[in-house]
Amino acid sequence: MIEIDDGAAGQRIDNFLLRVCKGVPKSHIYRILRSGEVRVNKGRVDAQYRLALGDLVRVPPIRVARADEVPAAPVPSAHFDILYEDDHLLVIDKPAGVAVHGGSGVAFGVIEQLRAARPQAKFLELVHRLDRETSGVLMLAKKRSALVNLHEQIRGNGMDKRYYACVRGEWASDWGRRRAVKEPLHKYLLPDGERRVRVQPDGLPSHTIFNLVDRWPGYALLEAELKTGRTHQIRVHLAHLGLPIVGDAKYGDFALNKELARANARPGLKRMFLHAYRLKLTHPASGETLQFEAPLPAECQRFVAQLAEIGSDGSRQQHGPQGEQPHDETGTHGSTAI
């Protein structure tokens, strides 16, 4: 008998059972639901039933034949800089090079490491995702009710996500300081199974706004404002404009990336310059407007400083990630180490 708490309230019974009965085939889960072996408050329910706080769920004994398996390597716990935490949310500053979850050749990611570091946590789920090589603000939900609310905000365009990207190329003079891109995006697989995205007329509607922050000969620093959240959206929209992100191994200038990654290169950079620096949202419980910011990583700050030294002509703008950010009358949170 399992009593439903905040971590499972609102979840469908079939998904709940799949989580509780790890390793049990999905077909068997639906079989015991149809046969009435699973009971909620002593009554039968169908697979679409949504659990309520305090429900009592009877899960029948289930015997599963297991083949001999090599035990999976334990997931090491990890420590990330915390930008904000309360009973509903956990917001961290994710470093570049760390996947948000395991899969596709990655044994584990941020979510698995945080669960290992917090074995007492009853519920911990990713609210959104960042590419492995993208750093910055990453939010997780500590309650299912918070996760549902935050996903509704994302679908309703109620979250303001901002990124910094340094690109190779010249910002066109007739674009002004703001350029909107609404090219549809299509996902496809390479022959080796790797995922890619391209601009394609029958792709999913996609909308990014790019704001010019600074520029130097052959480079520009941009702020990207996401209006939709498609896979690789910023990277593909910028490549489509002829402004590939510095260090982008999938859609970038590969010869340039190799040159920048050389030892003692100046300017030099050994990662993709894409950083989720700000996230603004409504708190799922209190309704308060919150804003989280992650400082530009040291290696990116160093790259910008090198570009400024090389291309300085006295006309450089004094704003952007190294200057003051516009003041916002919201709860803004910086980082504290775990």
CATH number at residue 231: 3.30.2350.10
Q: Residue 256 domain-assigned?
A: yes
Q: Residue 86 domain-assigned?
A: no
Distance CA 299, CA 24 (A): 46
Q: Residue 151 domain-assigned?
A: no
Q: Residue 113 domain-assigned?
A: no
Residue in 131, 214, 248, 253 annotated catalytic:
131
8 A C-beta contact, residue 213 and residue 304: no
8 A C-beta contact, residue 270 and residue 261: yes
Residues shown for the chain: 338
Mark which of 58, 80, 97 sits at the end of a domain: 58
Q: Are residues 212 and 329 in the same domain?
A: yes
Residue 333 one-letter amino acid = H
- Lowest-pLDDT range, 48-57, 151-160, 313-322, 327-336? 313-322
* Beta-strand relationship, 289-293 and 331-333: parallel
Q: Are residues 193 and 323 in the same domain?
A: yes
Mark which of 34, 58, 82 sits at the end of a domain: 58
pLDDT of residue 321: 57
Distance CA 271, CA 249 (A): 9
pLDDT of 336 over the 50 cut: no
In angstroms, how far is the first alpha carbon of the chain from the final one? 36
Q: Are residues 54 and 163 in the same domain?
A: no
The enclosing domain of 8 has a CATH number of 3.10.290.10
Q: Are residues 184 and 325 in the same domain?
A: yes
By residue range, what is the domain housing residue 7? 2-58
pLDDT of residue 332: 64
Q: Residue 261 domain-assigned?
A: yes
What is the pLDDT averaged over residues 97-113? 82
Q: Residue 288 domain-assigned?
A: yes
Q: Would you call 131 a catalytic residue per the annotation? A: yes
Q: Residue 65 domain-assigned?
A: no
pLDDT of 125 over the 60 cut: yes
Q: What is the DSSP string of 166-220?
A: EEES---GGGTTEEEE---EEEEE-TTS-EEEEE-TTSB---EEEEEEEEETTEE
User: pLDDT tens across 237-260, in order?
Assistant: 999 999 999 999 999 999 999 999
Mark which of 18, 41, 58 sits at the end of a domain: 58
- Domain tally for the chain? 2
User: pLDDT tens across 11-63, in order?
Assistant: 888 888 888 887 788 888 888 898 889 999 989 998 889 888 889 999 988 87
Q: Residue 154 domain-assigned?
A: no
